[in-house]
Structure 1
Amino acid sequence: MERPELPLPQLHAFVVLAEELHFGRAAARLGIAQPPLSQQIRRLEDKVGHALFTREPGRVALTPVGHELLPVARRALSDLADGLAAARAVGSGRTGRLRIGFAASLALTVLPGLLRDFRQRFPEGRLEIREMTTAPQLTALRERTVDIGLLREPEEADRELDFRTVLTEPFVAVLPHGHPLAAGRTVRLADLAEAPFVLLPREAGPGLYDRILALCAGAGFVPDVVQDAVEWQTVCALVETGLGVSLAPASIRRIRLKGVAFRAIEPGAERTRVAVAWRKSDRNPLVAHLLATVSPQSQATR
């Protein structure tokens, strides 16, 4: 069966419309009028043989066929961009681009030094950083929309990706400043058994979420999670209001909120792990250069 040729301009128009879900905004982003955009989408749908979008007054949505095509289209455009960037780097002596996804808490630990080293070693390289929780980073790596991931507690049984531990740090209890347990220097984990908890949702970082639940289980209880929040700063802000307590990586102590106390937990042997992740098949030389600057267990927070 002959495979249909999918012109890249049509794929580009499709991806932009899929992101905007609005013909006017997508056309403005592409720098074209709406009729040419509609024509591009119609031609692509003719080639695919199925509708990619449902069109109703005031509403555009992807069809199941569109959802299936979207990651493929993104990879195709990303591969083209990577190829062009690599070719230009060879022709001009520049170093190309590196796209890094990172968990927000790592802006408090490993990320600044990593970016500083990169800038010093490759001053002409183009660096793009994107704040993402762990699960979206893994998806972005597989879909080739980032080149490097900095994430917590990844599950390393992965055929496409490699991982290297770059940081371990203990957990701390996050308490409202007036909480009775905040009066001491340490907190027994079992003493939090009756407290309501504020945590990141599991879908944001399954590995870290499961580690926290395992810590609580080891202390003999299941935490009563009354609220979740995607960012640690929001978790701390909710703790400050008295909504609950939390367990977090020790680097979260660098979030300065007057109404929040951070206390070491007992027993304190358990540590959370930060890893750098990359595609096994990646041929971007900047990925290899960055990995060469990151040694295993290069940092630890006590």
Structure 2
Amino acid sequence: MERRDIEIFLTLAEELHFTRTAERLGVSGARVSQTIKRLERRFGVTLFQRTSRQVALTPVGSALREDVQAGYQRIQEGIAKAIAAGRGFSGILRVGFSSPLVGEAIMAAAEAFRTRHPECEVRIREVHLSDAFGALRAGELDVQITELPVREADLSSGPVLVRDERMLAVSARHPFARRDSVTVEDLTRDTVLAPTGAPEYLLDALIPAQAPSGRPIQRARTTTSRQELLTLVSGGAGMAVVGNQATRYHARPDIVYVPIADLPPIEYGPVWPAGAQTGRVRSFITLLRAELDR
């Protein structure tokens, strides 16, 4: 049975009147009559007894109504939930972030989102570059705000929301700790520590593979978290390219942050599973952009 056929059958079974059924569904009386006749021909049985004075369900029609009603109700509820979820009016919005720079703005945007859509819960969690997109691919997140670029066939990314000046984190005992700035050429003079699981293209975007002179930059994939990275840097195991946010969120007496003069800022933006940007995801990104623009 087509969905419209089910609607006509169930409504007529409730109204037991062809004209009222037609008016309730916004169709012609002829459409109602033709639909019921077509169903009866298909099933080979009479569903309604009709006289000039009344319409009544036959025993078969009554049984069919009971069987169809429950399933149709579940279908309607499922459709309503899907539409509501797509519009952001209900359910759970799961947001990930990889940087404290956007973490504060995400919290503010989440509060604004809850005010606008109180029936939608917002859950926030941190993700690490060592497993940059694992949570998205596992269905544990709807969207995450993370380092760009993202070049994954199964993921889509949005516009740049914020930029963060690139810095070099070095031990307070390192020779560069006394410098006002460094250049990409200086990165060739020591090991640059990097996350273990970052995609190669993202690693290249964060830390160049070579300096302008052509000399290689020694990159060591050794860390899984920021705290581990900074601990290794403070111990003299190497240097690290980080955002200027580190001077605020990760200030330490044993680490110095030196500006990198000839590298562009690190860019952050939204990433979500391809084809799965729902209305609530779009709404959250809009609110987050407004928060970051303040």
Structure 1: distance between partners of 2:238 and 2:130? 25
- Which of residues 235, 238, 263 is equivalent to 1:244? 238
Structure 2: distance between partners of 1:246 and 1:228? 11
Within the alignment, does 1:256 sit opposite 2:248 as a pair? no
- Which of residues 202, 205, 214 is equivalent to 1:211? 205
Q: Is the 8 A contact 1:149 1:277 kept in 2?
A: yes
Structure 2: distance between partners of 1:211 and 1:227? 15
The residue number in structure 2 matching 1:155 is: 150
Structure 1: distance between partners of 2:258 and 2:185? 14
- Which of residues 187, 193, 209 is equivalent to 1:192? 187
- Which of residues 106, 116, 120 is equivalent to 1:114? 106
Structure 1: distance between partners of 2:81 and 2:140? 16
Within the alignment, does 1:172 sit opposite 2:167 as a pair? yes
Within a 5 Å distance, the mapping from 1:90-129 to structure 2 comes to 95-103=90-98, 106-107=99-100, 109-123=101-115, 124=118, 125-129=120-124
Identify unmatched segments of 5+ residues in structure 2. Answer: 1-77
The residue number in structure 1 matching 2:135 is: 140
Letter in 1 for 2:109: D
Q: Is the 8 A contact 2:192 2:218 kept in 1?
A: yes
- Secondary structure of the residue aligned to 1:221 is coil
Seq. identity, %: 18
- Residue 147 of structure 1: CA displacement? 0.5
Identify unmatched segments of 5+ residues in structure 1. Answer: 1-82
- Which of residues 250, 260, 264 is equivalent to 1:265? 260
- Residue 241 of structure 1: CA displacement? 0.9
> What root-mean-square deviation, in Å, do the aligned CA atoms of Structure 1 and Structure 2 show?
3.3
Letter in 2 for 1:294: L
Letter in 1 for 2:237: L
Q: Is the 8 A contact 1:249 1:272 kept in 2?
A: yes
Q: Is the 8 A contact 1:102 1:151 kept in 2?
A: yes
TM-score, with normalisation over the residues of structure 1? 0.59
TM-score, with normalisation over the residues of structure 2? 0.61
The residue number in structure 2 matching 1:222 is: 216
Structure 2: distance between partners of 1:112 and 1:190? 34
Q: Which one has the largest radius of gyration? A: 2
Within the alignment, does 1:291 sit opposite 2:285 as a pair? yes
- Residue 250 of structure 1: CA displacement? 2.2
Size of the aligned set, in residue pairs, is 211
- Secondary structure of the residue aligned to 1:214 is coil
Letter in 2 for 1:256: A
